[in-house]
Amino acid sequence: MDFAIPADLAAYLDELDAFIETEIKPLENANDNIRFFDHRREDSRTDWHRDGLPSHEWEELLKEATRRADAAGHWRFSAPKRYGGKDGSNLWMAVIRDHFAQKGLGLHNDLQNEHSIVGNFPFVAMFDQWGTEEQKQEFILGGFNRERRVAFGLTEPEHGSDATHMETRAVREARDGQDGWLINGSKMWITGMHVATHVALFARTDGVDGDAKGITCFLVPNPSPGLEIDEYVWTFNMPTDHARFFVKNVWVPDSAILGREGRGLALAQSFVHQNRIRQAASSLGAATFCVEQSVRYARERKPFGQELARNQAIQFPLVELATQCEMLRLLIYKTAWQMDHMEHAEVEKQLSDKVSMCNYWANRLVCEAADRAMQVHGGIGYSREKPFEHIYRHHRRYRITEGAEEIQMRKVAAYLFGYLGPRKEKFG
């Protein structure tokens, strides 16, 4: 076994670092753009008079960073070559996201809204696997050209983790001789609706509550008659772009269906593993950043005439966190590598528990590391002069979103006890 980072990947990290220094850092420091990253960050990013949405200036800065990254050939790295990408593997993406997050806050990579100069595009995989040729052209290439942006409309106000009991319904209805569907229901926590041109709206079209089958994904234009955004829910970490909306007699033609009728949940799960392993790598990198900053500060700070780092009360909690970071890094990289060596459909059957292990533990770890960093730094750590409060507030949501940690632990348990996965035969 060889645990070394491949030479070509190491070289690409160097190339990315050079691009950040020459293109992204100057942009970050121009025109007081640093206000989006220093102690003013939450206020500068938020338009408090526009429902708490991201400010136009903040979103334009992110667009400019990704435009430069796209021109340099980095932004689409994870996408297939036929769409202008580089067929970036899960292993390479995990290493890159870990590497970026270890740098701390910056325009190169800001996970509050999934921004990065090396983009993560779960919708590309979903459209590439499930979409028609027309949908691929419109939504994949249109997405990269910024003509299309799709929000993910799965969660409902009364049904979070359990999508099989969703109350949004779609029934067949023809209009003007065209077959289609009439949709009614409500959705919540739908990110990016303020800029989305479409929402991938999941609705039950057949079956009964609790059935995994019978749910269909519809590409609904935004805005549409009957699609009413009620509010953008303010959260622990502002700005917000998480909409609650109602769907009242929204009609779409058959061509709006993405994937197969009644197989919408399988579609939704088609990219969740890629998303979770990459998000886990980001949480790991942020946790490592918190540990390293704490170590540095403990060596420099000298209360009562000696380094703070001399105290075992400082050493031991950071030792435990550093140990967990090292062990988790190996599991994340190994799992990402395994994902690259099996068919996409096999990941759910063979490796889903390992992806869940990586994700829920990384999200918990980064919260513990940020909290410990605040404690080590004392009062200044609690202030917004340091980034730890921002890291904590951002990553705390991932213990709920992307599959709550309890849901992911349940998946691990199902594999461990042989109710699902490769151990099922062992237990009969």
Alpha carbon distance 83, 137 (integer Å)? 9
Residues 298 and 416 in one domain: yes
Alpha carbon distance 204, 211 (integer Å)? 10
Query: How many degrees, rounded to 5, is the angle at CA 222 between CA 218 and CA 228?
Result: 100
Q: Which amino acid is at 126?
A: M
Residues 165 and 212 in one domain: yes
Alpha carbon distance 272, 237 (integer Å)? 23
Instruction: Report the CATH number that the domain containing residue 290 is assigned in CATH.
Output: 1.20.140.10
pLDDT score of 346:
87
Q: Is residue 213 part of a domain?
A: yes
Q: Is residue 421 part of a domain?
A: yes
pLDDT score of 29:
97
Rg (CA), the chain: 22
From 237, 258, 279, the end of a domain falls on: 258
This prediction's pTM: 0.94
Residues 389 and 251 in one domain: no
Alpha carbon distance 379, 95 (integer Å)? 33
Residues 232 and 300 in one domain: no
Residues 283 and 237 in one domain: no
Residues 357 and 420 in one domain: yes
Preceding amide of 223 cis, omega within 30: yes
Q: Is residue 410 part of a domain?
A: yes
pLDDT score of 345:
78
Q: Is residue 143 part of a domain?
A: no
pLDDT score of 112:
81
Residues 14 and 110 in one domain: yes
Closest residue by Cα to residue 67 from 34, 105, 115: 115
Query: To which residue do tokens 């319904």 refer?
Result: 169
Residues 32 and 114 in one domain: yes
From 77, 103, 120, the end of a domain falls on: 120
Closest residue by Cα to residue 116 from 93, 136, 139: 93
H, E, C per residue of the chain: CCCCCCHHHHHHHHHHHHHHHHHHHHHHHHHHHHHHCCCCHHHHHEECCCCCEECHHHHHHHHHHHHHHHHCCCCCCCCCHHHCCCCCCHHHHHHHHHHHHCCCCCCCEEHHHCEECCCCCHHHHHHHHHCCHHHHHHHHHHHHCCCCCEEEECCECCECCCHHHCCCEEEECCECCECEEEEEEEEEEEECCCCCCEEEEEEECCCCCCCCCCEEEEEEECCCCCEEEEEECCCCCCCCCEEEEEEEEEEEEHHHEECCCCEHHHHHHCCHHHHHHHHHHHHHHHHHHHHHHHHHHHHHCCHHHCCHHHCHHHHHHHHHHHHHHHHHHHHHHHHHHHHHCCCHHHHHHHCHHHHHHHHHHHHHHHHHHHHHHHHHHCHHHHCCCCCHHHHHHHHHHHHCCCCCHHHHHHHHHHHHCCCCCCCCCCCC
Pairing of strands 257-258, 215-221: antiparallel
Q: Which positions ≥6 away from 265 have C-beta within 8 Å?
A: 163, 164, 202, 212, 213, 215
Residues 27 and 105 in one domain: yes
By residue range, what is the domain housing residue 221? 150-258
Token reading at 35: 């206000």
Q: Is residue 361 part of a domain?
A: yes
Token reading at 97: 């996201």
pLDDT score of 40:
97
Residues 113 and 45 in one domain: yes
Alpha carbon distance 347, 311 (integer Å)? 45
Query: Counting every residue, how long is the chain?
Result: 428
pLDDT score of 51:
94
| Residue 236: count of CB within 10 angstroms of its CB | 10
Instruction: Please tell me the total count of domains within the chain.
Output: 3
Alpha carbon distance 99, 306 (integer Å)? 33
Alpha carbon distance 336, 119 (integer Å)? 17
Residues 236 and 278 in one domain: no
Residues 108 and 225 in one domain: no
pLDDT score of 43:
97
Q: Is residue 86 part of a domain?
A: yes
Q: Is residue 229 part of a domain?
A: yes
Each of the 428 residues of the chain gets a pLDDT tens digit; together they read 788 899 999 999 999 999 999 999 999 999 999 999 999 999 999 999 999 999 999 999 999 999 999 999 999 999 999 999 999 999 999 999 999 999 999 999 997 888 999 999 988 988 998 999 999 999 999 999 999 999 999 999 988 778 888 999 999 999 999 999 999 999 999 999 999 999 999 999 999 988 889 999 999 999 999 999 999 999 999 999 999 999 999 999 999 999 999 999 888 877 788 889 999 999 999 999 999 999 999 999 999 999 999 999 999 999 999 999 999 999 999 999 999 999 877 888 899 999 999 999 999 999 999 999 999 999 999 999 999 999 999 999 999 987 899 999 999 999 999 999 999 988 87
From 223, 258, 293, the end of a domain falls on: 258
| Residue 382: count of CB within 10 angstroms of its CB | 13
Q: Is residue 139 part of a domain?
A: no
